[in-house]
Structure 1
Amino acid sequence: MTRTVSASVLSSVLVLVPAPGWCAASLERYVLAIGANLGGANRPPLLYAVSDAERFARVMIDIGGVAAPNEILLKQPKLHDVWAALDTLTRRVADARKRTPPVGRTEVILYYSGHADEQGLLLGDDRYSYRSLRDRLDQIPADVRIAVLDACSSGAFTRVKGGRARPPFMIDEAADMRGHAFLTSSAETEAAQESDRIRASYFTHYLISGFRGAADVSRDGKVTLNEAYQFAFNETLGRTVDTKGGAQHPSYDISLSGTGDIVMTDVRQTTSMLVLGEDLDGRFFVRTASQELVVELYKPRGRVVELAVEPGNYEVRVERQKGSVTARAEVVDGARVAIDPRQFGPAAMESTRRRGHSTRYAVAGRNPIEMRLGSWRVHGPPVPVVITPAAVPFLGNTVDLDSATSLFAGFAYTRFVRENLAATVAVDGVGVSSDAKASANRAWTGRAAALAIPVGIRWNPLRGDHTTQAFKPFVAAAIGPVVQLANRSFVFGRAVSAAPTARTRVGGQLGGGIDVLASRSFSLGMSVTYKVMSNFPARVGGWRNFNGVQAACGVGWVFGKGK
């Protein structure tokens, strides 16, 4: 399943090369990887931003020339954490350039996966503007600065820089290279997608697959920035064309001069290699023993692909039009394991879901109206029938007959201001009770009902993407007037009197329940609340208040376009 996370996503690569030249004899590379699933209370949390950052940092250490002490990994940071990390990078690069002998070239790679809007990156409730980020990167005294941004709602940043959809660019190895390259994975009006199938965002997944060797079309064991981008461009476009989010068309704004291309990874740095021979063809999925998808690529017949992997057991699955086959391989440290076509056998089809995010269960900005029926007191004393000896002998004994119903019925209106927060107002007709007293020459009766109008809020405590959840539990609290509508009649001899009354008290309720969206416009609900209120001045009917546990079931109609 694919989940659309925003109307526009930026997955970008920005390369800035300042004027001073550099020596290719030695390289010191630093990486700052940032993953932020949360982008503020009004945005659904992402699922794979943090794991994307972890994977990016790992591949840079494994085969990207980054020493472990030169890695900084931030998970769900605050803005001040990012500032502090950039300050640390600045100091480290400045110290490296002062060494004797000096390093030939220093490079800084910034990777970010998370939310963004038209103004900047969103780190929880903080925003880091694009202009501030660019200015801060310019202050790092590195020879080459690379920023890879995989974030939501950043079309304005692309628009300001003049990016538009284009095919992959080519830079000749002998071309002069100075300036910058700004790359985006989607146009400003396109939806951005992360996938449950690959458990990552599309662009980051294919970029890392390319880094591990899938993009090494020159077969020199080195993956350049150009090769990695071309691979990610083609795979992202091809794998999103049939999703509900729509095809993502990478674009770029590039201005480069200098010599050569930037080598992002050296596949032969690793001691473990998985080799797909020239006799194999199809779409390959390489997974670890724990089913983590490490590399995905399409390989035509006649091409040899060497993949840099960590030691361990791997499952290699090949999908073709006629079916799928699978093979298993154990890659030990220092081994170069080639997969032979004879190792493959038939594979059961994977259980999958249609790619594309559905907002069928989104409720933010929508309005349910619910008809409810239930019991307002599920516990309580039985209604008494009492014979009381006469206080005055000539009146005779008095018989008390009390009866009460505990049912209530009503309707409720809810307005969802967010996916997990709503305001509610309800009108409930609460039970009818009666009492009667009679003796030899007198009788009186009383009947009472109540009308409750609670106003409150309800909150869904579950985390995750509520737009994909049909079951929506909630806790709720409300307060409002409770009006007692009573009528008492009295007969004494030939005299008859009647006295209708209406009394108001304030009542509250606290409880919870669950709604189930059977469709986008139809819901079923169940709730249990405890009602509490002050007593009415006198008992009319069976009760002086309507305190107790209330259980209800309801049927609702949900309308409105939503946010």
Structure 2
Amino acid sequence: MKCVRWWQGMLAAMALLLTGPSQAAEERRPRRVAVVVGSNAPAVGRSSLRYAHDDARNMADVLVQVGEFTPKDVRVLLDPEPEELLSAMDAQLGALRGQPGETLLLFYYSGHADEKALYPGGHALPLEELRRRIDTPDATVRVGIIDACRGGGWTRAKGLQPEAPFEVNIPLTLQSEGSIFIASSSGLENAHETSALQGSFFTHHLVAGLRGVADQGSDGEVSVVEAFTYARQLTLRDTALLGEGLQHPSFDMNLRGRSDLPLARVKTSASWVEVKQTTGPLSVILASSGTRVLEVPAGKRSLYVALPPGKYLLVRKESGGTFSREFTLEAGQREVLDEASLEPLQTAQLQRKGPAEEEPPRPRNTLTFSPVLMAALAIYGLEYERALLPELSVFVAPRLSIQNEDASRWSYAQLMLGARYFPFGHAPGGLFLTSRVSGISVSASSPTGQETGQSLIAGLGVGYSLLAWNWLVLSVGVTESYFWTVREGSEVGMTKEGFVTDLQFNLGVAF
């Protein structure tokens, strides 16, 4: 009997050893919830944004992938009304209220804003309404991130805080109470987005930093300060080179118990790479679109970087050329990328594989005032042109001219049909070759009566059409034509056949 009890006790102890620690660890794991907002809708007096939705999705993805947020705890809102946004914040805070242990609420917004309000869905939401929720004690730690113009009203900062060292080798638990406010700009500055990154400068670099590039301790963990410092440095660089003005991200942290907060653990991702860099800088480029995913600053370092499954290029550009390596990352896969494995690459091989950068659609129709000077005769009319292909268009042009000579009145009516081929340019703009046919009817009225005559004209020519501001058309062309009389009028001067050169002008609008 004692043996039986002894074995039962041993089995119970083993079960406790096997299940107890994992359950305890699960209980100690901080509960993290997020509200992530992207708003492309224009505020009054401003244009629509293009990439705020993408910013929000990218932020939500990285929080789930490496931030230890569960998908059900990340609420993504696209162009919400202010009431919907506040309701989502209240619901997430309600889920944390009374939760045992440490908790974290993260709020992210990409869209229009000013120093006093955000504009989700294009409607004003006072910053104080959000700050009141971020300052609530319902969550142990609250993080607010705004990527928008005039972010100084969010952080209440007018510039950057000075550099300072921070301890980053800490476990991914909170152990702090307080709030952190981050903005992509300070004071009255504007924030910028770009098609080159398919998003805003700051969010792009902040997401890249959280994926592991910002890790300064080489421990696979990224803190808030590390991620912000990395995003700030690259945002300053990019806006200096590409933006209309410098963009200074701002930061305000009020934590009790610690000077920093861990926010991402790279090795919790289903797929990640270890980057071994000797000199750098290195870039990781998504092969399907040519979009730069992240950059590793110059210097010798080894980093763990979380990436979604896909095909990528690891690239180093220097004065001596471009060096690269293509790699494919599958779900659940770990890859080691050594800078020494890069090979020389021809520039043409690195051209963008995806869709070209967005351009305004070119017009396909034109309506122009179109006079023709033929010998000493000017015939006036309109022309409608339609682009069938980028290099081919067709047109129709009715024209009319009336002249008085002594006691006679001469009327000229012309209908022209033709096509234009654009070997250089894009219809309706550029250098073109033209072919056309037309019919002319001439009538003469005099005291002795009225006579008419008709001729056909066929010709070939060359010209140039200028398309300005994507709507104004100005063109000129010279055509050599042969005409012959179909029916003569002895008094209207149409008894000859032969070649004639004419000059044609077009001025009008494209749509």
TM-score normalised by length of structure 2: 0.61
Contact kept? 1:312, 1:330, Cα under 8 Å: yes
SS at match of 1:66: coil
Identify the match of residue 31 of structure 1 among 22, 31, 34: 34
Equivalent-residue separation in structure 2 for 1:39 and 1:140 (angstroms): 33
Q: Map 1:436-447 onto structure 2 (within 5 A).
A: none
Identify the match of residue 62 of structure 1 among 65, 84, 87: 65
Residue 41 of structure 1 deviates from its aligned partner by 5.7
Greater shift, 108-117 or 40-49, is seen at 40-49
Q: Which residue of 1 aligns with 2:139?
A: 142
Equivalent-residue separation in structure 2 for 1:182 and 1:156 (angstroms): 10
Residue 240 of structure 1 deviates from its aligned partner by 2.6
Residue 434 of structure 1 deviates from its aligned partner by 11
Greater relative contact order (Cα < 8 A, sep 6+) = 1
Deviations 1:354-388 (A, max 9, x none): xxxxxxx9xxxxxxxxxx8459xxxxxxxxxxxxx
Residue 210 of structure 1 deviates from its aligned partner by 0.8
Equivalent-residue separation in structure 2 for 1:142 and 1:314 (angstroms): 39
**Residue 348 (structure 1) aligned with residue 299 (structure 2):** no
Letter in 2 for 1:116: A
Greater shift, 280-289 or 29-38, is seen at 280-289
Q: Map 1:487-498 onto structure 2 (within 5 A).
A: none
Q: Which residue of 2 aligns with 1:311?
A: 309
Equivalent-residue separation in structure 1 for 2:40 and 2:167 (angstroms): 38
Q: Which residue of 2 aligns with 1:239?
A: 238
Closer, same or farther: CA 132–222 of 1 in aligned 2, 3 Å: same
SS at match of 2:28: coil
Please identify which structure carries the higher helix content: 2
Equivalent-residue separation in structure 1 for 2:239 and 2:160 (angstroms): 15
Contact kept? 1:150, 1:204, Cα under 8 Å: yes
Closer, same or farther: CA 147–327 of 1 in aligned 2, 3 Å: same
Deviations 1:210-252 (A, max 9, x none): 1111111111221111111111122222233222423323333
Greater shift, 79-88 or 214-223, is seen at 79-88
Contact kept? 1:93, 1:140, Cα under 8 Å: no
Q: Which residue of 2 aligns with 1:324?
A: 322
Closer, same or farther: CA 337–165 of 1 in aligned 2, 3 Å: same
Q: Map 1:550-561 onto structure 2 (within 5 A).
A: 554=507
Residue 30 of structure 1 deviates from its aligned partner by 0.7
Deviations 1:60-89 (A, max 9, x none): 001101011111111222223213322321
**Residue 517 (structure 1) aligned with residue 468 (structure 2):** yes
Deviations 1:470-489 (A, max 9, x none): 999xxxxxxxxxxxxxxxxx
Residue 113 of structure 1 deviates from its aligned partner by 0.6
Q: Which residue of 2 aligns with 1:217?
A: 216
SS at match of 1:286: strand
Residue 143 of structure 1 deviates from its aligned partner by 1.2
- The ranges of structure 1 where at least 4 consecutive aligned residues each deviate by more than 6 angstroms after the TM superposition are 173-176, 431-435
Q: Map 1:254-293 onto structure 2 (within 5 A).
A: 254-259=253-258, 261-278=260-277, 280-291=278-289, 292-293=291-292
Identify the match of residue 165 of structure 1 among 160, 163, 166: 160
Identity %: 26
- Aligned alpha-carbon RMSD (Å): 4.5
Unaligned runs of 5+ in 2: 1-25, 353-359, 361-367, 372-378, 383-399, 410-425, 429-465, 476-504
Equivalent-residue separation in structure 2 for 1:523 and 1:406 (angstroms): 20
Residue 169 of structure 1 deviates from its aligned partner by 4.3
Deviations 1:158-198 (A, max 9, x none): 6x824323334444469996544433333335442222222
Equivalent-residue separation in structure 2 for 1:254 and 1:342 (angstroms): 40
Contact kept? 2:282, 2:297, Cα under 8 Å: yes
Q: Which residue of 2 aligns with 1:129?
A: 126
**Residue 88 (structure 1) aligned with residue 39 (structure 2):** no
Contact kept? 2:284, 2:315, Cα under 8 Å: yes
Equivalent-residue separation in structure 1 for 2:275 and 2:116 (angstroms): 44
Closer, same or farther: CA 471–136 of 1 in aligned 2, 3 Å: farther
Equivalent-residue separation in structure 2 for 1:288 and 1:523 (angstroms): 38
Q: Which residue of 2 aligns with 1:421?
A: none
TM-score normalised by length of structure 1: 0.56
Deviations 1:241-277 (A, max 9, x none): 2224233233334444323521110111123221111
Deviations 1:373-407 (A, max 9, x none): 459xxxxxxxxxxxxxxxxxxxxxxxxxxxxx975
Deviations 1:8-63 (A, max 9, x none): xxxxxxxxxxxxxxx99320101111111122363222221111110100010011
Letter in 1 for 2:78: K
Equivalent-residue separation in structure 1 for 2:113 and 2:467 (angstroms): 32
Equivalent-residue separation in structure 1 for 2:351 and 2:325 (angstroms): 18
Q: Map 1:162-561 onto structure 2 (within 5 A).
A: 162-172=157-167, 179-259=178-258, 261-278=260-277, 280-291=278-289, 292-301=291-300, 303-349=301-347, 350=350, 373=369, 407=381, 516-517=467-468, 523-524=472-473, 554=507
Equivalent-residue separation in structure 1 for 2:252 and 2:264 (angstroms): 23
Contact kept? 1:76, 1:123, Cα under 8 Å: yes
Equivalent-residue separation in structure 2 for 1:188 and 1:555 (angstroms): 46
SS at match of 2:73: strand
Letter in 1 for 2:198: R
Unaligned runs of 5+ in 1: 1-22, 353-360, 362-371, 376-404, 409-430, 436-444, 446-469, 473-514, 527-551, 557-563
**Residue 77 (structure 1) aligned with residue 74 (structure 2):** no
